[in-house]
Amino acid sequence: MSTPPPPAICDAVELKVPSVTGSLPIVRAAVEKMVLARGADEKEAAAIGLAVDEALANVITHGYGGVPGQPIEIRIETVDKGQGCRLTVHIRDFGRQVDPARIQGRNLDELRPGGLGVHIMRSVMDEVEYSCPECGGMVVRMSRRIGGGRPQVPGVE
Amino acid sequence: MRDTSASVKEIRRSPQATVIVLTGDMDLHHVPAVHPVLLEECARNPATLIIDLGEVGYMDSSGVGVLVHVFQKVKANKGRLRLIRMSPRVRGIFEITRLDRYFVICESEEEALAR
């Protein structure tokens, strides 16, 4: 009797969500489900979900200035890379453009609310890159190798 | 679908301390419901404010920001703030942002009262 083929993996998801805070838990859940299915453990999935959540929150708050109902396009994809795979998340908005060189994490020695999102994104993901498309808005591309013995981040045992 | 809205489950006030039990997800979507309640309790100037995070399943930087704001209010009133029963997931964001240096994080209400 022949061996059945392995179940097909979902290696790319595209979402289009409005710029409302209610989109955050939905996108977070999709990202976490996907990375869990690709071999990440729960703690790593939670950390990646947090990074994507922070990027999305920045789009809603800063890119669109809190204006609801504006479009945000998200693409989540995984590519096999030897042991484990590489996760890449693209988030595209059509709001305010900012010089990518000015998007920095802030000094963590200052105890004040706000401004932590970029630091969290850069701490969790291997790469975080912002760009300004010619037709307006911003794109942030974040990637991280998952599975395969990747070094951990705080809170991800 | 499970309701993960952040909310204040319980507030217990005693001469020793005010204990606030939070529940749900403390993210940008949900913290607006919790923030004013926390500030209202800060305005009562408790000597010790204990925030129980045992039922908080998720927190992002907006949730952390609310706790930083509470920290500043309590400190300005010369009070003490203790965070208790933090899950590893919630603890993770405090470590990533290095805010675990500032907050006193305890395992239990008893420990929070003793420290």
Best probe of the A interface among B29, B42, B70, B99, by most A CBs < 10 A, is: B29
Residue B2's pLDDT band (boundaries 50, 70, 90)?
low
| Rounded-to-integer distance, Cα A147 and Cα A129, Å | 22
Q: Which two structure tokens, joined as six digits, stand for B115?
A: 């420290």
Does residue A134 lie within any of the structural domains?
A: yes
- Quote the percentage of chain A above a pLDDT of 70: 93
Tokens linked to B23: 């529940």
**Closest residue in A to B2 (Cα–Cα):** A25
CATH class of B7-114: alpha beta
Is A38 inside a domain boundary? yes
Distance from CA of B106 to the nearest CA of A (A): 16
Closest by Cα among A28, A142, A11, A31 to A79: A11
| DSSP alpha helix (H) spans, B32-87 | 35-42, 61-76
Per the listing, tokens 């013995």 go with A149
Beta strands A127-131 and A138-146: pairing type? antiparallel
H-helix or E-strand spanning residue A118: helix A117-124
Residue A108 maps to a domain: no
* Res A157 pLDDT > 70: no
Interface test with B, best of A21, A116, A119 (most B CBs within 10 A): A116
Half-sphere exposure in the Cβ direction for A13 (13 Å, CA) = 18
The domain total for chain A is: 1
CB pair distance less than 8 Å for B61 and A46: no
Greater confidence (B74 vs A147) lies with: B74
Cross-chain residue pair A21–B29, CB shorter than 8 Å: yes
Q: Where are the alpha helices (DSSP H) in A20-100?
A: 23-37, 42-58
pLDDT per position as a tens digit, B79-90: 999 999 999 999
Q: Judge: B92–A120 Cβ closer than 8 Å, yes or no.
A: no
What's the ipTM? 0.85
The distance of B61 to chain A (nearest Cα, Å) reads: 6
| Residue A92 belongs to domain with CATH number | 3.30.565.10
Task: Tell me whether A107 touches chain B (CB under 8 Å).
Answer: no
Domain containing A131: what range? 9-102+116-146
The whole-number pLDDT of residue A156 equals 45
In this complex, which of A24, A47, A155 lies closest to B28 when CB atoms are compared? A24
Is A102 a residue whose pLDDT tops 60? Answer: yes
**Region of poorest pLDDT, from A8-12, A16-20, A118-122, B82-86:** A8-12
In a domain, A110, yes or no: no
Q: Cβ–Cβ of A43/B88 closer than 8 Å?
A: yes
HSE-up of residue A1 (Cα within 13 Å, Cβ side): 1
| CB of A43 less than 8 A from some CB of B | yes
Determine the Cα angle at A36 with ends A32 and A41, to 5°.
105
Could you tell me the pTM of the whole model?
A: 0.88
CA torsion sign for B64, B44, B16, B79 is: positive
Surface-to-core class of residue A101, CB atoms within 10 Å of its CB (0-12 exposed, 13-18 middle, 19+ buried): exposed
Q: What pLDDT digit, counting tens, does each position of A36-55 carry?
A: 998 899 889 999 999 999 99
Residue with tokens 């405090």: B94
